[in-house]
Amino acid sequence: MSYSHILFEVDAGGIALITVNRPEKLNALSGAVIADLHQAFERIAGERDIRAAILTGAGEKAFVAGADIQELAALSSLEAREFARCGQQVFRMLETSHKPSVAAVNGFALGGGLELAMACTVRFAAENARLGQPEVKLGIIPGYGGTQRLPRLVGRGRALEMLLAGDPVTAAEAWRIGLVNAVVPQAELLNYSRAWLGKALANAPAALGLVMEAVDVGLNAGIEEGLRFEATAFAVSAATDDGREGTRAFLEKRKPAFAGK
């Protein structure tokens, strides 16, 4: 598979590193980048050997500085709707892939960049990162999920504060409000991301996928449906080979050997 605007490498542990690679445009999301991400996220969801993903941006200045404003400026209303739906579906594909993903936010994450980071399972930020939804400053609104995921992550009041003023927050402020999970020096960002994924991936893959699905169902459908889903997912996890192995290993006072079944 070849990509023109992203780099895609999978390491021996099954972690895919996806780098948005347009540093001269601060990694802005053109239609071509979204098309590459679509292919990449399909691989992540579909290939069993890929167990997790890290997303980052090329260079030291930007994760992704937004949707490509040059392209946006030329859209008719109907094209803009299609543009938003297409990006939303691509990001949702990653979010619902049942595999953990990390946004390694190595600089500006603005507009579509923050929206992409929020579609990842967790976000780790470099100290120089700046995160925001500045769309209103351009006379438009977020179209890749910003109005939906930001309030789910930081609460309605803080989300509206960011969405209405359009000003970015620093990495430290993003951590304080729960928008990012940790702030680390830029040179340590990828290692930190890999280390966290290493801990998650030591656990049974089916359990990871079911936890992610249960959180997604509950947050989007409400607690009654979420609890019903959780009980069914719990039953599924308990009946997997890994579920039996994990509980048996605890009782036998040894480390579990998960086979991914």
Residue 115 is a catalytic residue: yes
Q: Which is nearer to ligand COA, 138 or 215 (CB)?
A: 138
* Candidate list 87, 134, 145, 205; residue touching ligand COA; CB under 6 A: 134
Q: What are phi and psi of 57, to 5 degrees?
A: -120, 150
Distance, CA of 254 to chain centre: 34
**Residue 89 in the binding site for ligand COA (CB under 6 A):** no
**Residue 128 in the binding site for ligand COA (CB under 6 A):** no
To which residue do tokens 């936010």 refer? 105
Burial 50-82, CB ≥16 within 10 A → b, else e:
bbbbbbbbbbeebbbbbbbeebbeeeeeeeeee
Nearest to 100 by CA among 219, 246, 11, 198: 198
Shortest reach from residue 144's CB to ligand COA, in Å: 9
The region of 104-112, 176-184, 216-224, 237-245 touching ligand COA under the rule CB under 6 A is 104-112
Distance, CA of 10 to chain centre: 17
| Contact characters 145-164, ligand COA, x per CB under 6 A | --------------------
**Residue 33 in the binding site for ligand COA (CB under 6 A):** no
Which spans of this chain sit near ligand COA (rule: CB under 6 A)?
25-26, 28, 65-70, 108, 110-111, 134-135, 138
